[in-house]
Amino acid sequence: MVHMRWVEFHDPNISLPVVKRRIGLELMEMLDLTATFLTQGGWGLLKKSCYPNEKAYWNAVYRLRKSGLAVTGQGGGRIPVLRLTEEGEGVLAAYFRPEKYWNRSWNGIWYLFVYDIPERNRVYRDGLRKYLKRLHMGCLQQSVWISPNDIRPEFDDLAKAAGVDSFAYLFESRTVLGLPNRRVVDDAWNFDRLNEIQQRYCDVFGENLDRLSSGVCDAEALAFLVRDELGAYRSAFVLDPLLPRVLRPSGYMGEKVYSLHNQIMHAVASRLENI
């Protein structure tokens, strides 16, 4: 068997966001992408490339089943298969269902989160900033964050659980200092860096898709490609606020990334059927 050589996503000239690898979530992502995962054959596909050992793989399967995020059944050939439940699909990161966010309508209201936290509470402040980033809020200034999404439920949760209302206010506004919405987007989110990362993804995995379509590769090579692609896909979207179409800047590449991602996974699934 000829070993396929893939183009690697890492580029020393591009500052890529660090995305922590979580084995359980990685398996869920693969389940989502391949629709059906052969429980016995799953380890065979992932060994050496995705999991440190067989025990780690089976521990991940057990945790997903115990939490109700995945179920095991019988395939057409009576081979055990693993599938995501609806609850499991809901746990996946937003960028695995980006159309839901791109296609939503926007009512024209911005939500501004403004806080003033004393220096002595730096740990609290840093934790709050990390949480706001996970909500994909944009940063207009260090203590002024913005989102087109209604984050009142999240603010209420923060107020009840962490007393954030002692330090912060949440405002609704149809304008931000009279600036055009596109200017607000440009100021709040770093789309230049995002586009650089997403362009890198398209360049690398466009080439890898061509190699996959024309070359010969075994299950181990496919497993390596899947793991590298999933990691790159996370990096390509982790900074993406997934804004409604009406707010997206020109040149946005998220849809190209998502389309290429699906093409690669369909191509991998097709190859697996013939191995």
Which pLDDT belongs to residue 40? 44
Residue 19 or 41, more confident: 19
Are 269 and 202 in a shared domain? yes
Q: In the predicted model, what is the mean pLDDT of residues 100-111?
A: 96
Query: Nearest CA to 112 among 145, 149, 137, 159?
Result: 145
Are 39 and 88 in a shared domain? yes
Rounded to a whole number of angstroms, the CA Rg of the chain reads 21
pTM for the whole structure = 0.80
Spatial distance between the Cα atoms of 154 and 167, rounded to a whole number of angstroms: 15
112 pLDDT above the threshold of 90: yes
Query: Nearest CA to 253 among 183, 200, 177, 185?
Result: 200
Q: In the predicted model, what is the mean pLDDT of residues 232-253?
A: 95
Percentage of the chain lying above the pLDDT 90 cut: 41
The C-alpha angle with vertex 131 and arms to 127 and 137, in degrees rounded to 5, equals: 130
Are 82 and 197 in a shared domain? yes
Spatial distance between the Cα atoms of 69 and 200, rounded to a whole number of angstroms: 33
Spatial distance between the Cα atoms of 218 and 237, rounded to a whole number of angstroms: 29
Query: Nearest CA to 262 among 24, 32, 88, 21?
Result: 32
Which CATH number characterizes residue 250's domain?
Answer: 1.10.10
The C-alpha angle with vertex 223 and arms to 220 and 229, in degrees rounded to 5, equals: 145
Spatial distance between the Cα atoms of 202 and 78, rounded to a whole number of angstroms: 39
Confidence band for 136, pLDDT divided at 50, 70 and 90:
very high
Query: Nearest CA to 47 among 223, 212, 217, 269?
Result: 223
Confidence band for 11, pLDDT divided at 50, 70 and 90:
confident
Q: Which residue range is the domain that position 136 belongs to?
A: 109-173
Are 93 and 41 in a shared domain? yes
Establish if 7 belongs to a structural domain: no
**Residue 194 in tokens:** 């995002």
Percentage of the chain lying above the pLDDT 70 cut: 70
Domain count for the chain: 2
200 pLDDT above the threshold of 70: yes
Burial class (CB in 10 A: 0-12, 13-18, 19+), 147: buried
122 pLDDT above the threshold of 80: yes
Which pLDDT belongs to residue 142? 86
Query: Nearest CA to 252 among 189, 181, 209, 187?
Result: 189
Are 164 and 125 in a shared domain? yes
Establish if 9 belongs to a structural domain: no
Confidence band for 263, pLDDT divided at 50, 70 and 90:
very high
Are 224 and 262 in a shared domain? yes
Are 95 and 117 in a shared domain? no
Residue 70 or 206, more confident: 206
Q: In the predicted model, what is the mean pLDDT of residues 126-134?
A: 90
Confidence band for 36, pLDDT divided at 50, 70 and 90:
very low
Which pLDDT belongs to residue 44? 55
Least confident stretch, 59-63, 124-128, 244-248: 59-63
Q: In the predicted model, what is the mean pLDDT of residues 51-67?
A: 69
Tallying the residues shown for the chain, one arrives at 275
41 pLDDT above the threshold of 90: no
Q: In the predicted model, what is the mean pLDDT of residues 243-269?
A: 93
Are 224 and 163 in a shared domain? no
